[in-house]
Amino acid sequence: MSVGRINRYSIVSSEEEGLRLSTMHGMNGFGNGKLHTRRKCRNRFVKKNGQCNVQFANMENKSQRYMADIFTTCVDIRWRWMLLVFTLVFVLSWLAFGLAFWVIALLHGDLDNPAGDDNFTPCVLQVNGFVAAFLFSIETQSTIGYGYRCVTEECPVAVFMVVFQSIVGCIIDCFMIGAIMAKMARPKKRAQTLLFSHNAVIAMRDGKLCLMWRVGNLRKSHIVEAHVRAQLIKPRITDEGEYIPLDQIDINVGFDKGLDRIFLVSPITILHGIDQESPLFGISKQDLETADFEIVVILEGMVEATAMTTQARSSYLASEVLWGHRFEPVLFEEKNVYKVDFSHFHKTYEVPSTPRCSAKDMVENKFLVPSSNSFCYENEMAFLSRDDGEEDVGGGGSRALANLSPDRNSRHEFERLQATRALDQRSYRRESEI
């Protein structure tokens, strides 16, 4: 048996993170001739909350580069540091100009005449020490103007310092208020009300295997120009032997047909058809259980209230992709409105008729996909919701069940189709008898 070489240069794993599953080429066996062995599990590249699990190190001139773009630095830092910078900037400016006024008063001799001689005119009235100069600096920069301390015409330097401090104070106010407003108006928190399903699923949709996940918006305000995209991230070795620890491969979600742009009013299931151009084309159910990849999903759009672009991110590991599952319906019609039940947002149900082979095997072997069942789970949930909205208070429950149950001929036909498709009887009871 020929064993594939395991690359030892891994920058995304550690000793204490457990074992991960990988594949080695073999002579025979299910799963495209691969034998499955255990390997160290690598970390998630993008966390479920959208944060990137990346830490920068050994950056040259980091402080100088961050200070060169001080405005963005102030917007990106945490609020505790932002408030500290806000306080320090004002206090230090007051102290600096207070010290300047104190030096002017000291050189002019104002401190030697604290009683206020009638024949002596100080530069700044009632500035007899550093504390008084500090208070005068605060009054000047904040334009409080108590009227107790003021500059005189005796010292042109003091007049210049008052003008200069007023200009510097305006610049500091504009910068700090602008940074705080930009930090408060950031659409980053808007992503907290954009949901991704906990799991992605692979099931049949319109005659072919599809990768699906669900997105939703918890606010009534819309995301303008919302569009989605996805990437598959996994380690790869090139033909030249170069090891790429995080190779990014685009996953087509309908960009060429405009299907990536969505109207996110109610939860929507995003589809990726697994075809010849899909990176999942050769993956079967058994391969998925031992696969080592991560699917990063991104939702972008403009916040309706501020017209600022926001981005929500999440990811699915191979263990979080459920083969042969579908999402439970969340949208129901009740009287004259459509109701979204978010309690079913993350829930899935199993579809036993889903082929376990890969999409590649289905194409090469010309696998015939069974047609859809007469009574599927989504249809019954929709019928049940419609009947519950129309039923009376007294006998509505039995009437809904009566409308939901097919007649004798329909049930006989359904059982005949079920027998020809060799479906599991327990699945039929689960999906047809609610």
pLDDT tens for the chain, 434 residues: list them. Answer: 444 434 433 334 343 343 443 443 433 333 444 444 444 566 889 998 888 888 888 888 888 888 888 888 888 888 999 999 999 999 999 999 999 999 998 888 878 776 656 677 888 888 888 998 999 999 999 888 777 888 888 888 999 999 999 999 999 999 999 999 888 888 777 888 899 999 999 999 988 899 999 999 999 888 999 999 999 999 989 989 899 989 999 999 988 888 899 999 999 999 999 999 999 999 999 999 888 899 999 999 998 888 888 899 999 999 999 999 999 999 998 888 999 999 999 999 999 999 999 999 888 886 655 555 544 555 555 555 555 555 544 444 443 334 434 444 444 444 444 444 443 433 333 333 33
Overall size of the chain counted in residues: 434
The pLDDT value recorded for residue 116 is: 59
The pLDDT value recorded for residue 366 is: 67
The pLDDT value recorded for residue 296 is: 95
Distance, in Å, from the CA atom of 249 to the CA atom of 318, rounded to the nearest integer, reads: 15
Strand partners of residue 203: 210
Residue 396's Cβ-side half-sphere holds a number of Cα atoms within 13 Å equal to: 11
Q: Is the pTM of this model over 0.75?
A: no
Structural contact between residues 280 and 253, judged by C-beta atoms closer than 8 angstroms: no
Whole-number Cα distances in Å, 378 to 7, 26, 95, 373: 46, 42, 70, 11
The pLDDT value recorded for residue 299 is: 94
Radius of gyration of the CA atoms of the chain, in A: 34
The pLDDT value recorded for residue 166 is: 92
Structural contact between residues 400 and 387, judged by C-beta atoms closer than 8 angstroms: yes
Residue of 190, 179, 183, 248 lying closest to 50 (CA atoms): 190
| Residue 57 structure tokens | 């190190």
- Which strand ranges, in their side-by-side order, compose the sheet holding 243-251? 243-251, 223-237, 294-303, 309-317
Distance, in Å, from the CA atom of 328 to the CA atom of 310, rounded to the nearest integer, reads: 28
Inter-axis angle of helices 377-390 and 425-432, to 10 degrees?
30
The pLDDT value recorded for residue 30 is: 36
Residue of 98, 122, 97 lying closest to 110 (CA atoms): 122
